[in-house]
Structures are given as C-alpha cells and as structure tokens.
Chains A and B, each alone.
Chain A
Amino acid sequence: MAEETLDREPTRRGFINWFLGTSAVAFLLSVFYPVGRYLIPPPVAESTAGTVTLPLKAEDVKPNTGQIFKFGNRPAILVRTTAGELRAFSAVCTHLNCTVQYRPDLGHIWCACHNGHFDLNGKNIAGPPPRPLDPYVVNVRGRQIVVSKSA
C-alpha cells in the first residue's frame, strides 16, 4: 500500500503542479485582462460638464442651417447664420422643454410644440416661451467645433 502511493506520487504531484500552474496563469490573465482594458483610453476622449467637441467639420455646416447636437444629456443647437457666423444655444425650449429647431425659411429658431420663436441671439420673440435660450460659446479649433458653457 505504502509502496504503491510512493510509486504514484511523482506523476500525481506532477499533475497537481501542472494544474496549479495552469489555473494560476488563468487567474492572472483574468486579473490583468480587465486592468489592461481599463487602461486603454475610451473612444470618447474626455467628459466634462463644460465642453463638447462636435462630430462635425466646421466647413460642413452650411450658412442658414442649424443642427441639433448632444451636450451632456441635453440637446443643444448649432446655427450658422446667413452671415456665416456660428452660434450655439441650449435646444431646450424654455416653455415646456421641447427640442427647438432651426427654420431656414424664417431664419431663426423655432419650437414646433407650441410655435415658440427665438431669434439668433436666443431671445424669445414670439409665442409662449418665457425666457431666452441659454447661449453657449462656440470655438473653432482648426476644423473642429468646440462648444462650451459660458463661464
């Protein structure tokens, strides 16, 4: 009996060592995999409450058009005036929080929900909206458009 175990011992120990080694390596992998993935920078470069870089090229925004973009979780609107100037405002209507849009035919910002009108300074000019839209600051950095909350 004792001799039998002694005989089997080397192969058994070898198996245990192999098993332990393999599982230890697997364990290390399962630790380093998430850590490695964690360290890779995420596709969205950075997230701050104050600024957003638009996924648009400056030259792609034609005069007399407007575009809705995401600013945090809220919609905002980028307008290029007929004069070629870029302006950005919160796109949340001050009346009942609908999303406003640019009306090329009127040349200003309009809310479809209750026919509210805002001029290109964000000021409420007709309809029920009680307050102007919050203005944002637009900066063009090369071809990138960066919108930030005014300080």
Chain B
Amino acid sequence: MRGLVALAWLALVGIAALPAPAAAQQQRPESCAACHLETGDERLANPVKQFGEDIHSAKGFGCVACHGGDAREAGMEAMDPAKGYIGKPERRQVLQVCGRCHSDARFMKQYNPALRVDQVTEYATSVHGRRLREFGDPKVATCVNCHPAHSIKPPSDPRSSVHPLKVADTCGRCHGDPKYMEAYKIPTDQLAKYRQSVHWRLMSVKGDLSAPTCNDCHGNHGAAPPGISWVGNVCGQCHTVQAEFFGKSPHAKVFAQMGVPGCATCHSNHEIKEATDAMLGLADQAVCAGCHAAADKGGKAAADMRALIDSLGGEYDKARAILLQAERAGMEVSQAQFDLNGAKDALVKARAAVHAFAVAAVKKETEPGLTISAKAYARGVRALEELQFRRKGLAVSLVIILAVIAGIVVKIRQLDRKEQRTPSP
C-alpha cells in the first residue's frame, strides 16, 4: 500500500516537472482581475489585491501561471478546465504547481540563478511532507502555509513571512497552537521558549539576523527534529570550537550510549540561555551536578575547571581594576591595558575549552591568561608606585619651600628688631 502511494507521489512530481510552462509571456491586462474585483466578494477580490505586491507579479507572472485557464477570454470561458484551468489547487497539487517552476533549474535560472531548486525534494523528506504523502494529513504545512499564496515575498523583505524575524511567528502559528497540534502529542511551547532564548534576544534586540531561528536548526523545506546524533552538528554550524571539543570529549560517546542529546543536555534547546560560568562545577546553578557528585572523577574535574576559570576571571578583573585606577590617577598604562586584552581572549578560549570536559584542556588556555594578567597587574602596581615617586618629589619641594619661608620669617624678625631699636621719628 505504502509503496503504491510513494509511486503515485513520484509520478505526480515527475509529471509536474515535465512541462515547463511557457513562461511569463502573459498578455496583460488579464481578464481575471476585472471580474474578481467587480464581484464585491472579499474572498474573490483579495487574491487580486494582494497579488500586486507578490514577487511573482513583480517578475511578470499572472494568475494563469498557477491557476491555468486562458486570461484572454473575457467571461467565464476563461476558467474552462479544458484550457488547463485548475481553480484553487488541492493540497497535494500545491507541490506540483510550485514545483513545476521551482524544481526546474533551467527555468529558474532566468529569474534567480542563485535560488535553490530542491525545495520539493527537500519537502518530501520533511515530517510535513511524509505525513502528507503517507496519511494525506490535511493539517500539515505545504508551500502556501509558510509562503502565503498571492503575497509571497523573498526572505530578505522585512514584510515577508519567512524573513528571519518572522520565521518563529510563521512556524508558531501552528506549532504554538495547542488545539491545532493536539492530535500530534508534541509540545507546543517551543515558540514561547524560543522567545526567552539568547538567540531570539540577539536577533530581536541586537538586530543580528544571523542568529538562529527555527529553520536554522530544523531546516526549512526539510523541516524535521535534528535528532539526537545531529544536535552537535546543528549547533556546531556556528559554535564550531565547542562542537569540536565536545566531539573529542568523553561525553560524546557516553551521551550517545545514554541516548541523550549532546549540547541540549546542558544548554536545553528552544529556551537556550546565555551560558555563564555558574553552569560549570557543582554549585547551585551548575548543570554538571545533575549527574556528577563531588566524590566522582567527573565532579572533581568540573570543580577544578570552574576553579581555573574563576581564578583567571578574578585575576583579569583585578588587573583591569588596578590599571583603571592608575589611569584615573593620570598614569600612562594604555600599553598594559592593551596587552591585557590577551587575558580576556584566554578567558573566552578557556570557556570554550570547557567542552572538552578535561581539566588539561582548560588549563592550557588559562595558564597563559594568568601570566598576562599577572604581568598587567604588576604594571598597575608599578604605575601606582610611580605615584609614590611623585610624593617624594613633593617632599623635596616642600622642604625647599619651608626653607624659604623660614628664611623670610627670620628676616622679618630681624627687620622688626631693627625698627624697634631705631624708633621711627
């Protein structure tokens, strides 16, 4: 049975791929718009109104490109099925309609050579596509659920439903709706959780559109859960260093055996928070404490790594503070401050090296950082000592001034005595 359905599916796609339509040489104006606007029925008029801003309209396509029929006819004859008119495409038909052009590399090249042409193939691998194919599921998303027909805009357009800032909303329309998703028995809190995450904050507050949203981890047309063995690869797209460390770490194998996901075990997934040093070690907010205790080897390593990072952080802050103090006092310490950047780098690297889950790896980064911090601190101390030198100079000049004052005072007394002896007339 399933084989048959698959075969039918392939046939559909295959047929769709065959006749590349005679492109956009549509004659305008079309008769469709005239009638649809006149009826006064919103349902009929809206597609026409919206289509003006659609990317396809901008590229010169008209209604017929998708709906078939003959727009040159003025009346109802335009919608003759014999002329290829299909009306509103069925769910499965949508794939065929869009794929007819979008899967045709030669055709697409005329309009957007950079655009991929594997969306339909990818869709077939997605949970959406599989459910549509296998069960004819009427609720799963097809092309038009994410790219609203008649008002499709490229992802770079801020008004587009697939602009990075809008993707979460677009997916959340279904996945954030508990009633709609009831039958599937999967959580519906992803959108709410994602809104709490560091990724969304980066994107929405800092305007970093390269921060990940739904499709960056789940894929877009091939949307699917990344899968346990995949999570590291997905996060590792951006967090390469950590992923590399993790891949070689003892956790990589153990986590796989235990059947728990890599990164997400400690960092969670949708509501991922900014990682802090507090996550490391065995203290209150530390995630390591979930499995490890102070007595076991891993617990000890966790505590040691935390101690290393804390000591570097502390030394760095100390050096920075003393240099700032010296700078405020008017000493020249900019070179020392400049060199101290190295300690900050080391701290960042050490935090990444934590993902090797080996004390030695962290130590390799913290040690040079500690050396740099100590040097900078020493320079700060020296600068403050230099202030003491100023005070020595001050002491010398004070002695001189006091000597002059003493001399003058003696002179004054001398004068007074002389005047007393020779009273003025």
Q: Within the complex, are A and B direct neighbours (CB within 8 Å)?
A: yes
A binding-site residues for B, Cβ under 8 Å: 13, 16, 19-20, 23-24, 26-27, 30, 70, 72-75, 96-99, 112-115, 124, 127-128, 130-131
A residues less than 8 Å from B349 (CB atoms): 98, 112-113
A24 near B211 (CB under 8 angstroms)?
no
Contact A128 B238 (CB under 8 A): yes
Q: Is the CB of A23 within 8 A of B404?
A: yes
Question: In this complex, which of B210, B341, B352 has the most chain A Cβ atoms within 10 angstroms of its Cβ?
Answer: B341
The answer, yes or no, to whether B345 is at the interface (CB within 8 Å) is yes
> Which residue of chain B has its CB nearest to the CB of A2?
B421
B319-344 near A? 1/0 per residue, CB < 8 Å: 00000000000000011011001101
Chain A minimum-CB-distance residue to B243:
A115
The 9 closest A-B pairs by CB, nearest first: A20-B407, A130-B208, A23-B403, A115-B240, A113-B348, A30-B397, A98-B345, A23-B404, A128-B238
A113 to B239, CA, bound (A): 10
On whether the beta carbons of A99 and B210 are closer than 8 Å, the reply is no
How long is the Cα–Cα vector from A112 to B365 in the complex, in angstroms? 12
Contact A112 B404 (CB under 8 A): no
Which chain A positions have C-beta within 8 A of B206? Answer: 130
Give chain B nearest CB distance to A45 CB in angstroms: 15
Nearest CB of A to B369, in Å: 12
Binary CB contact string for chain B from 387 to 415 against chain A (1 if under 8 A, 0 otherwise): 00000000011001101100110110010
Kindly state the separation between the CA atoms of A114 and B403 in the bound complex, as whole angstroms.
65
* B202 with A130: CB separation less than 8 A: yes
For this complex, 21 residue pairs linking A to B, each with C-beta atoms less than 8 Å apart, are A13-B414, A16-B410, A20-B411, A23-B403, A27-B403, A30-B397, A30-B400, A30-B401, A70-B335, A74-B341, A96-B348, A99-B345, A112-B345, A112-B349, A113-B241, A113-B345, A115-B241, A115-B244, A124-B210, A130-B206, A130-B211
What interface size band does chain B fall in? Answer: 20 to 34
User: Is the Cβ of A24 less than 8 Å from the Cβ of B404?
Assistant: yes
Which chain B positions have C-beta within 8 A of A24? Answer: 404, 407
Q: A70-B335, A113-B352, A130-B211 are in contact. List 5 more A-B contacts (CB 8 A).
A: A30-B400, A30-B401, A74-B338, A99-B345, A115-B244
Are A73 and B208 also in contact (CB < 8 A) when A96-B348, A114-B239, A127-B238 are? no
Given A24-B404, A113-B352, also A131-B239 (CB < 8 A): no
Q: Which residues of B contact A27 (CB under 8 A)?
A: 400-401, 403-404
Residues of B within 8 A of A124 (CB): 210
Beta-carbon nearest neighbor of B211 in chain A: A130
* Whole-angstrom CA separation of A99 from B407 in the bound complex: 61
Once A16-B410, A114-B241 are accepted as A-B contacts, the answer to whether A73 and B210 lie under 8 Å apart by CB is: no
Q: Interface SS of chain B: helix, strand, loop or mixed? A: helix
Measured CB to CB, the residues of B under 8 A from A are: 202, 206, 208, 210-211, 238-242, 244, 334-335, 337-338, 341-342, 344-345, 348-349, 352, 396-397, 400-401, 403-404, 407-408, 410-411, 414
Q: Is the CB of B408 within 8 A of A20?
A: yes
Task: Report the Cα distance A20→B400, complex, angstroms.
Answer: 11
Chain B residue at minimal CB-CB distance from A13: B414
User: Contacts of A97 on B, CB cut-off 8 Å?
Assistant: 344, 348
Q: How far is the CB of B208 from chain A (nearest CB, A)?
A: 4
Cα A26 to Cα B158 in complex, Å, equals 76
Contacts of B208 in A (CB 8 A): 130-131
Which residues of chain A are near B211, meaning CB under 8 Å? 130
Contacts of B242 in A (CB 8 A): 114
Q: Please measure, in the bound complex, the distance between the C-alpha atom of A67 and the C-alpha atom of B240, giving whole angstroms.
A: 25
Cα distance A123–B344 in the bound complex, in angstroms:
23
Interchain CA distance A46-B206 in the complex, whole Å = 36
- Closest residue of chain A to B209 (Cβ to Cβ) is A130
Please tell me if the beta carbons of A16 and B241 are within 8 angstroms of each other in the complex.
no
A23/B407 contact (C-beta < 8 A), A30-B396, A98-B345, A130-B210 known: yes
Shortest Cβ distance from A127 into B: residue:
B240
Q: In the complex, what residues of B have CB within 8 A of residue A130's CB?
A: 202, 206, 208, 210-211
Tell which of A26, A30, A114 touches B352, judged by Cβ atoms closer than 8 Å.
A114
A27-B401, A127-B240 given; A73·B407 CB < 8 A: no
Q: How far is the CA of A113 from the CA of B414 in the complex (A)?
A: 77
Q: Give, as a whole number of angstroms, the nearest-CB distance from B364 to chain A.
A: 13
List the B residue with the shortest CB-CB distance to A128. B238
Contacts of A30 in B (CB 8 A): 396-397, 400-401
Please give me the residue from chain A that is nearest to B405 by CB atom. A23
- Chain A residues contacting B337 (CB-CB under 8 Å) are 73
Contact residues in A for B244 (Cβ distance below 8 Å): 115
Contacts A75-B341, A99-B341 given: A20-B397 contact, CB under 8 Å? no
